[in-house]
Structure 1
């Protein structure tokens, strides 16, 4: 008999966790599992890639009203007699306005947001909160399932969450999945009484699919000029990704005479700040924010160097994709960098500042032999992780030892 599984995710707009879920769902065995998906936002870049076998659950009217802009939400809730929910919407807004930490705000706001969300009426064999915070809280509070799994895609300590909020939820989970050994160590140290629940399942990436999609665009996606050095970074425009270091490093490279064009695929709350920095450093002709791209692989394939100047990561899917396309890679020395890159063998790891990023990039630009060595070493690696889904199936077992 098929098992019934529910995945919970805030949305599929863009991001590594979102792409990871799409990759996982694309590899699920739908002969063995009925899969439902609950999203708080039914729009986004990756919605078109959702497998047709996945049933998307509807959102309740109360949430639709709650999610409206404040000046629309409050009067409509009151007109429908939902006074208590209107009060919680007011508290939700006040909390957001007063908070200086978006990460903990999402945690604390769950108490208000939860009032707008109903319990899922179906009973599941397994429910999976596929992202830290809201997804996990929903999985615990709003779903009836024989087994519950939470997922942490990031270095927990660096994200700045409040562990006193999470521990109560973690204690109600059967498994806590994370994406790298270093992330697992961090979780076990932070939550020692939950360490037996921590499991590592790598993000699923498919080399065959990536190579196929990389060939879909044969034209020059960058409109390269002669001798131009094309650098690409991918990530949400967020403080975590360190793109302000990239802008400053780009200025340093231009001052040293290198004809660089640094492109960033991604969108986010720091776009305006980054656009200001680009103007401040005078690199409008050398540093471009490309926005979101449904198919980033031609951009990776046609780049000369891939750069990930992050301040912290869990396990970067973009780095894995750049490795599959055999790109010379530069990363900053975030806590999990060595989980993905062997310095000098399949990439270059530099310190987390603009000078070091510029120096590392200069080394890659000047040393063509090093770039060829890194690409050659990557070409010899077995980089597909499709088999990771077998680990997930083992966690889905009900009543059996894992």
Structure 2
């Protein structure tokens, strides 16, 4: 295949309403001036034809396939798309896209850069299907030209459990534009609860463990309402759990919000009770809005954000440098953290610390590290044009 030096392709499953999808669109927005300066034509390939909740920048050529979640269909469809584009480099997000990217790289003669957005071991910890996926990850990821880990925890897992060489991995935290997030948080919404509330965001799936949040609230002395933004298969189970715990009148499942920031801004504090993360965007974005944070010490990311350390162990909960970190799946630990953070003096102290920590996750740092990972000619920094969220 004839290689075109000035084509670069990005690959992701879809642009549904998840954190990885949002970061992909932020990346393309942040890097627009650099790609144009380097003379690249930029293509975004979506493996699945699904409703798009995220907005792709207009300068990007979008290609939508219809693989229906299949690796087999994805291989042939993606191969045809990439043969037509003839990229110099392909950058992929999420496990299926990553495996396909690496599998096609040598055959089609491009440089494969994959980005792991979750802790792979925790994410693929289920039955036979996950076992097969783990084997495929171990067979493909070590052959990538560069692996971008979204946190040090993700990096450590790839080295220890999936045979990826340390020197091939670069850790790049997700980017956040604090001014833009603050501006979006000012937009009016008409479905905020009238009572003080705490908030969690993310897909309503088991890994996010919102069930733990409900149990912890019931076990605590906090009187807040509970707002959860997201959609997914666990909605009915959460409604039933709330009813059994006597929380039906306090739980507000408001669905997916393309702009979650007014809801986060209106909350007393932010809570994440996940069993697994890569680098939790929701926590960092809440901190950009100066919100105090309670989070479980799942693999990986929360401890890196709230303590500045990795690895980190906790029993029950601890009030750490930038927030409360809790033992995973511990009702008493999360309940204790909720009680602690609901005290005004603690909440106010951690609101200030959140804002200080958020400033370390800037678009400029993300851009500089990504340029090195992609091996592009670095242009002079431009920040005024950035509108990523």
Please say whether Structure 1 and Structure 2 have the same fold, judged by a TM-score greater than 0.5: yes
Give me the whole-angstrom Cα distance separating, in 1, the residues matched to 2:99 and 2:252.
37
Give me the whole-angstrom Cα distance separating, in 2, the residues matched to 1:200 and 1:300.
27
Give me the whole-angstrom Cα distance separating, in 1, the residues matched to 2:57 and 2:102.
25
RMSD: 2.3
Residue number in structure 2 paired with 1:263: 227
Give me the whole-angstrom Cα distance separating, in 2, the residues matched to 1:116 and 1:26.
26
Structure 1 or 2, whichever has the larger Rg, is: 1
Q: Are 1:296 and 2:273 counterparts?
A: no
Give me the whole-angstrom Cα distance separating, in 2, the residues matched to 1:398 and 1:328.
38
Per the TM alignment, residue 170 of structure 1 is displaced from its structure 2 partner at its CA by 1.7
Per-residue deviation, residues 76-130 of structure 1 (Å, max 9, x unmatched): xxxxxxxxxxxxxxxxxxxxxxxxxxxxxx7xx5235535655222210110111
Residue number in structure 1 paired with 2:144: 173
Segments of structure 1 that go 5 or more residues without pairing to the other structure are 68-105
Which is bigger in relative contact order (C-alpha 8 A, separation at least 6)? 2
Q: Are 1:57 and 2:63 counterparts?
A: yes
Matches within 5 A, 1:1-400: 3-28=6-31, 29=33, 30-31=35-36, 32=38, 33-47=40-54, 49-59=55-65, 63=66, 67=68, 110-111=71-72, 113-115=74-76, 118-120=79-81, 121-132=84-95, 134-142=96-104, 144-160=108-124, 161-162=130-131, 163-192=134-163, 194-217=165-188, 221-225=191-195, 228=196, 230-253=197-220, 256=221, 258-336=222-300, 337-342=302-307, 343-352=319-328, 353-365=330-342, 367-381=343-357, 382-387=359-364, 388-397=366-375
Give me the whole-angstrom Cα distance separating, in 1, the residues matched to 2:229 and 2:204.
9
Per the TM alignment, residue 390 of structure 1 is displaced from its structure 2 partner at its CA by 2.0
Q: Secondary structure at the match of 1:124?
A: coil
Instruction: Classify 1:118/1:284 alpha carbon distance in 2 versus 1 (closer, same or farther; 3 Å).
Output: same
Give me the whole-angstrom Cα distance separating, in 2, the residues matched to 1:193 and 1:51.
32
Give me the whole-angstrom Cα distance separating, in 1, the residues matched to 2:338 and 2:269.
8
Q: Secondary structure at the match of 1:380?
A: helix
Q: Secondary structure at the match of 1:245?
A: helix
Per-residue deviation, residues 134-171 of structure 1 (Å, max 9, x unmatched): 11123234563531111111112111244321122224
Give the TM-score normalised by the residue count of structure 2. 0.82
Give the TM-score normalised by the residue count of structure 1. 0.79
Give me the whole-angstrom Cα distance separating, in 2, the residues matched to 1:197 and 1:220.
48
Give me the whole-angstrom Cα distance separating, in 2, the residues matched to 1:223 and 1:276.
20
Instruction: Classify 1:116/1:275 alpha carbon distance in 2 versus 1 (closer, same or farther; 3 Å).
Output: farther
